[in-house]
A = this chain, B = another copy of it.
Amino acid sequence: MAVNLKPPDPAELLPVDGVELGFAEAGIRRRGGRDLMLMRLAPGSRVAGVFTRNSFAAAPVQVCRRRLAAQRPVRALITNAGNANCGTGEAGVRAAERTCEAVARAIGCAAAEVLPFSTGVILEDLPVERIEAALPRCVATLAAANWADAAAAIMTTDTVPKAASRAGTVGGRRVGATGIAKGVGMLQPDMATMLAYVATDARISQPALERLVRETADASFNRVTIDGDTSTNDSFVLIATGRADAPEIADAATPAYGELKAAIVEVSRQLAQSIARDGEGATKFITVQVAGAASEPEAVRVAKAIAHSPLVKTAFFASDPNLGRLLMAIGNAGIPDLDVSRVDLWLGEVKVIERGGRAASYREEDGARAMRPAEIIVRVALGRGSTETTVWTCDFSYDYVKINAEYRT
């Protein structure tokens, strides 16, 4: 059901020098298949991450935060699908640590140099012994060309593996960036989602990398939403192996930072959009553009008010140009002094709302035509300022209910 989303072509995913990926079936995910993924990083790699703001941050998220804060080198990332290791208390933290210890033994590094990630059902104990048993197979498959297989091994209810890759230049020298992600529901604001790993061979200082991961998240994963829910396990990790033949990027003020950021944001946006395209039950991919806002937070609030409204999302599913629901959603964004008589709105190229009311030129058949495609752009002009933003989402179908009602059965 994913909207215009194809599995990645392994040949189009650039290997990143210093990153190897392995996978195995550990028997954690109920429906079977590969559910364990290991990334091994070359010495000298730098890593930065942003994580869920949910108060019930899962055990692996707690461990990742602690290890990244300690500024130890990172040599491996281990991810399991099928069990989130969340709401599992101290025992869950210990299980995540045991997973890291097993990886450390398998590849020869310190346990503190391994980051753990989990996704799947919540409040069930992580079967660490299955991970331990599958790890040798995972290590045996480690290879730089395995991005597509790695993307498949971290899926839960995803229907399509998600990967993206770009070549760019930094200071005239070629660098590459490749990433994978998983996630189709329980997605939302501020760490919309899921697990996402983007690696580059560029060289960049740790402070600049930490800035880059936040700025990239705000331009990509924090701009996608499926159902307004935020997972307990959301993680986005940026890896820079530094093996490219390009000068080190010292800080964000340099032109080189901007060059690298362009490539990283492009990869991350494509991954973020893939998540909306594969949103649970999605039949349409919706881009919400808000312009004329007084500030970025205001633009985001309006865009997400539209993207979150179940009434708007069911209207998209039905291809019904129910303009009233769009108006209602904008009105619910909580912009205190919004002058509705300055609000314009377009569905695709059709202007439907003009100065807060139905556009004089609007005809229902034009609206119906604009709602028909599988990809729809909603543009809102608020008439308050010059800030713009874009949020991606999907429609809300029978299958969303079906998938979520039957998730554990």
Q: Does A353 contact B (CB under 8 A)?
A: yes
The minimal Cβ–Cβ distance linking A124 to chain B, given in whole angstroms, is 8
Cβ–Cβ contact B324 & A122, under 8 A:
yes
Q: A87-B353, A87-B358, A230-B332 are in contact. Are A404 and B327 (CB under 8 A)?
A: no
Q: A330-B56, A398-B401 are in contact. Are A228 and B408 (CB under 8 A)?
A: no
Complex Cα spacing A408 to B311, Å: 12
Tell me the dominant secondary structure on chain A's binding face.
loop
Complex Cα spacing A406 to B328, Å: 18
The residue of chain B having its C-beta at the shortest distance from the C-beta of A188 within the complex is B332
Q: Does A144 contact B (CB under 8 A)?
A: no
Chain B residues near A270 (CB-CB < 8 A): none
Cβ–Cβ contact B404 & A398, under 8 A:
no
The minimal Cβ–Cβ distance linking A183 to chain B, given in whole angstroms, is 13
Q: Which residues of A contact B (CB under 8 A)?
A: 53-57, 84, 86-89, 92, 121-124, 185-186, 188, 227-232, 308-311, 314-315, 317-318, 320, 322-325, 327-335, 338, 340-341, 353, 355-358, 396-398, 400-402, 404-409
Q: Which 6 A-B pairs have the closest CB atoms?
A: A122-B324, A318-B405, A56-B331, A54-B331, A314-B404, A55-B331
Listed A/B pairs (17) with beta-carbon separation below 8 Å: A54-B331, A55-B331, A55-B335, A55-B340, A56-B328, A56-B340, A56-B356, A86-B327, A87-B324, A89-B356, A188-B332, A227-B310, A227-B311, A229-B311, A314-B401, A318-B406, A400-B401
